[in-house]
Amino acid sequence: MTFHDFNFDEQVLEGILSMGFKQPTPIQEMAIPVIMGGEDLIACAQTGTGKTGAFLLPILDQIAKSHEHHTTVLILTPTRELAQQIDQQVEGLAYFAGISSLAVFGGGDGIVYEQQRRGIQNNVNIIIATPGRLIAHLTSGILKLNQIKHLVLDEADRMLDMGFYDDIMRIISYLPKKRQTLLFSATMPPRIRTLAKSVLHNPQQINIAISQPAVGIDQQVYQVADQQKTPLVKLLLKNGNYNSIIIFSSTKEKVKAVYKELKKDFKIAAFHSDLEQTEREDILRDFKNKSLPIIIGTDALSRGIDVEGIDLVLNYDVPPDPEDYIHRIGRTARAATTGTAITLVNERDFRRFKSIEKLIDRTIDQKPLPEELGEAPVFKERTGGRDNRRKKNFKKKGPNKQHTPNKPASKP
Ligand code: AMP
């Protein structure tokens, strides 16, 4: 299949070619005809599959063919970075078709707010927004959404994780009932199905199975005690021949603590939600143009950040959700290059790590700890899990018969 098969508007086609897209990706092949047919869609697809093009291209085609000059498309995203990336894709794909878009997101100063306000008044074709800031413009009365024909909920699972359910429903209450709604999500937990039921109408469904990590990624694991983690990271950064590195940790607090240690020896920036928007933008810009070699952040960084040439992803800890492992390490070895993904596993994370190996259906190469860091701990997979542990404790201590009424029995 080629992009010519969709009968896209000539200028949209030109945009596609200028972006270097030669062939539609599987999600594009499946989603574009459904969207062009005017149906609602629920699509399970993650970043890296070409999902943005899958919803943008048929929408751009429709705008180009109808010559509309007001806001008919609303795309809701969980983060400002994703909003900006989608905006950039519109800019590239719609360059020849002359379709306008505006990214609307929170943070920034009064000037940014004013720019957004002016953009809204200029009747751009497409608004790409994070829910909170969009509501601010809606309630100020400046933004009217009564001509929206297409609503896209992008990374819907992440929006719900971030607590945007009520905001999304509030925004939808401003939209015309007759519209096309497209929901994209990397995972499909029951609450996404509930959301879909209340906002989509007879949707078609598309499932792109979670992709396996790219073959070009050299995956490695070190078993470590907690106090060995930071010294090991320092050694890996010093001795490895890496130029562009992302370090992931599961919590903001951990990101800050590890950053404090590493910044003594390395040029590094920490990326988290406490930063001002301009600081986040500066960090990403420096990281993209390679003047900043190392960035440390939480899983928020693992989605949507599309940076070429990252040669090491270092997991300071194991992500809670095995699918996040694939998102994290997918930041390297993009576009058929190669890269390394190293994961540090302590005893507490060992079971989580085994779930990852199950998900990707392979054993990850375990590396010996460098001698100067001392002995590597050895972890064994527990058989029987929690229940087995409970039974053992019960035997040792005996049943907890004598707990006082208001005090819960201590957990095993
Ligand atoms: P996404 O999954 O939307 O985040 O897209 C991931 C990357 O793939 C982006 O850099 C897109 O520009 C690129 N991309 C999207 N569609 C195609 C295509 N058909 N051919 C080549 N690259 C593409």
Report the C-alpha gap between 33 and 225 in whole angstroms: 52
Structure tokens belonging to residue 62: 């429709």
What is the three-state SS of 7-31?
CCCHHHHHHHHHCCCCCCCHHHHHH
Q: How distant is the alpha carbon of residue 269 from its chain centre?
A: 19
Q: Is 350 in the pocket of ligand 1 (CB under 6 A)?
A: no
**Looking at residue 215, what is its pLDDT?**
66
Q: Is residue 392 predicted with pLDDT exceeding 50? A: no
Q: For residue 102, give the DSSP letter.
A: E
Ligand 1 atom nearest residue 92's Cα: 12
Is the domain spanning 217-373 CATH 3.40.50.300? The answer is yes
Nearest to 57 by CA among 89, 18, 103, 79: 89
**Looking at residue 337, what is its pLDDT?**
64
β partners of residue 74: 127, 151
Residues 6 or more apart whose Cβ sits within 8 Å of residue 161: 78
Lowest mean pLDDT among 8-12, 94-98, 113-117, 395-399: 395-399
Span from the CA of 46 to the centroid of ligand 1 (angstroms): 11
CA angle 192, 334, 349 (to 5 degrees): 60
The CATH class, in words, for 3-208 is alpha beta
Report the C-alpha gap between 191 and 159 in whole angstroms: 11
pLDDT in tens, 173-217: 999 999 999 999 987 888 898 999 999 999 999 987 665 676 678
Structure tokens belonging to residue 262: 């590493």
Q: Is residue 384 predicted with pLDDT exceeding 50? A: no
Q: Do domains 3-208 and 217-373 have the same CATH topology?
A: yes
Identify whether the C-beta of residue 39 lies closer than 8 Å to the C-beta of residue 23: no
Phi first, then psi: what are they for 369, rounded to 5°? -70, 140
Q: Find the largest Cα–Cα distance for the chain.
A: 79
Q: How confident is the model at residue 387 (pLDDT cuts 50, 70, 90)?
A: very low
Domain coordinates in residue numbering, the chain: 3-208, 217-373
Q: How high does pLDDT run on average in the chain? A: 86
In this prediction, residues 235-253 reach a mean pLDDT of 92
Break the chain down into helix, strand, coil percent, rounded to 5: 40, 15, 40
Task: Indicate whether this model's pTM tops 0.75.
Answer: no
Q: For residue 330, give the DSSP letter.
A: T
Structure tokens belonging to residue 251: 């919590």
In this prediction, residues 130-152 reach a mean pLDDT of 94
Span from the CA of 321 to the centroid of ligand 1 (angstroms): 24
Q: How confident is the model at residue 330 (pLDDT cuts 50, 70, 90)?
A: confident
| Cα radius of gyration rounded to whole Å, the chain | 24
Q: Is residue 151 predicted with pLDDT exceeding 60? A: yes
In this prediction, residues 244-249 reach a mean pLDDT of 94
Terminal CA-CA length for the chain: 58
Pocket test for ligand 1, best of 4, 6, 18, 21 (most atoms within 8 A of CB): 21
Structure tokens belonging to residue 265: 């020896």
In this prediction, residues 38-50 reach a mean pLDDT of 88
What number of residues does the chain have? Answer: 412
Helices then strands, each counted (H, E), the chain: 15, 14
The Cβ of residue 231 has, within 10 Å, a number of other Cβ atoms equal to: 16
Q: Is 167 in the pocket of ligand 1 (CB under 6 A)?
A: no
Between residues 299 and 250, which one has the greater pLDDT? 250
Span from the CA of 50 to the centroid of ligand 1 (angstroms): 4
**The sheet that has 101-104: what strands, in order across it?**
101-104, 126-129, 73-76, 150-153, 180-185, 41-44, 204-207
